[in-house]
A and B are shown apart, each in its own frame.
Chain A
């Protein structure tokens, strides 16, 4: 080993220890635990190797199936909304006008608010007796007020609203960084050639911000798959499991019911789904960077 390599290793050692102990070891340990029956409330049973039993149980567990559907619904509804709103915000913030700096600062506010706080905020807005939501919809007529958080159809939508509100600005920032790399000459050339605003957007802007959009898509998908704080604060997975997303279900199994083996199988499931999705996105991202030519 070259001496500089040994020195580099020394420099990296402290971070390797932390990351190893609190990220790598736990992920492997979760895999291992998912093949055991281990129940915290029944410690005298010890850990018993049960092979694929946790996974076969998971496969036939109707609550897990609903949890998966809820999570997928959450991901596929929030992502397009976030990308759409974020792209729109970025396009406005990329224009030159007075007050642009202020606008860029304001957009950071939802991003900076702790998720627990924004969750309580939306929970208050959707309150069934004096929430802003009901007042905006029905005015003072309290007899028509809805209780969205207690309604199995509306509750998932409230979580979606809360998620989109907080994260669309993050998408806007990433897309804005992409927009700022597009040279003005391209637009000048396009307008000389007689391209309309829509054509410029379609054939200049969109192809060039594709990598930024894909990156936002990657981050947002991974984040949406592991949604937890919003559900914990706003609905506790209810009503009737209508918002019981996978992270929350796994949390309940491990930390409320002590079903460590079964909960670990859920955790491994969430991990594998997000791993596969990020590998797919990274592949697309890589190929989109190679073929930079706008179509």
Chain B
């Protein structure tokens, strides 16, 4: 019984640690302006939607959300398409430098953003891609490819060779074998990889900050970080925007928890 009590205490502790700071902030978004600055703070708000209204109508939150969906969605789609073809080659063709290449990708994923930011900015500037969706999407594809390739290679290696070999003997080309047989079998893996890439792209801040300076094109993290207000911070609107940016992610995470943990572990433990 002592063990059960201790586990309960620790579990509640972990739950408080993970939830309370965020709940406090999310609940702020439903407060009225008077409740926002009240001392002692009101824990349970009176569920006003005013901050949401002003964030959406006056501060163009909808545009940031749309930009984020476009950029993160496109980058995820292309990165998974390119990454799965590459991962198939790494998993199936017995290439002498497969492991070296995977290690190289791992090294890239550890690059500090600042170490490549200046030249990436220059490159996009030369292409005239600054302040365009495609500029940021291109950068995100490159930054997600290490993670996507690692996870997908791990998944493709688990697909048995036999079915595919039968198809090859029947006259399928390598590419047909890949997209008609291996791809459908690996749907869960591809979904996991896509989810992790999407979450990363949705949350990315550094490159979004330097590539998009036009407020009409900026993504949610940039919008939330640069919320205007020199003297009085619009905390209610910031909390409302933050909640809208986070709730979809939390839902995705809770729904696909097993897949995410497995994907993270595949990327991490086999490193």
Contact = CB atoms under 8 A, between A and B. Distances in A.
Interface string A26-42: 11011001000000000
Interface in A251-286: 251, 254-255, 260, 263-264, 266-268, 270-271, 274-275, 278
A156 interface: no
Interface string B17-41: 1110110110010000000111111
B264 A18 contact: no
Across chains A and B, which 9 residue pairs bring their CB atoms closest together, nearest first?
A22-B142, A11-B89, A26-B116, A226-B112, A26-B119, A29-B119, A271-B115, A114-B203, A8-B93
A235 to B, nearest CB: 12
Interface stretch (A56-64, A76-84, A124-132, A182-190): A124-132
Interface residues of B, number: 89
Contacts of A198: none
A18 B175 CA distance: 21
Given A22-B120, A33-B119, A178-B269, A142 B39 contact: yes
B239 interface: yes
Contacts, number: 272
Interface residues of A, number: 94
Interface of B: 4, 7-8, 10-11, 14-15, 17-19, 21-22, 24-25, 28, 36-41, 82-83, 85-86, 88-90, 93, 95, 101, 105, 107-108, 110-123, 138-139, 141-143, 145-146, 149, 174, 199, 202-203, 205-206, 209-210, 220-222, 224-225, 227, 235, 238-239, 242, 245-246, 249-250, 252-254, 257, 260-261, 264-265, 268-269, 271
Given A135-B41, A212-B269, A14 B85 contact: yes
Contacts of B122: 29
Given A30-B116, A109-B253, A177-B265, A119 B21 contact: no
B246 A18 contact: no
A233 interface: yes
A109 B18 contact: yes
B225 A232 contact: yes
Query: At the interface, is chain B mostly helix, strand, loop or mixed?
Result: helix
Interface of A: 4-5, 7-8, 11-12, 14-15, 18-19, 21-27, 29-30, 33, 85, 88-89, 92-93, 95, 97, 99, 103-122, 124-125, 127, 129-130, 132, 135, 139-140, 142, 165, 169-170, 173-174, 177-178, 212, 215-216, 218-219, 222, 225-226, 228-229, 232-233, 246-247, 250-251, 254-255, 260, 263-264, 266-268, 270-271, 274-275, 278
Contacts of B28: 124
A165 B14 CA distance: 11
Contacts of A215: 268-269, 271
A226 B114 contact: yes
Contact of A247 (B85, B112, B245, B268): B112
Q: Tell me which of A110, A113, A264, A266 has the highest count of chain B C-beta atoms within 10 A of its own C-beta.
A: A113
A14 B86 CA distance: 8
A92 B224 CA distance: 35
B139 A22 contact: yes
A271 B268 contact: no
A113 B249 contact: yes
A273 to B, nearest CB: 9
* Interface-centre pick from A15, A104, A260 (highest chain B CB count, 10 A): A15
A124 B118 contact: no
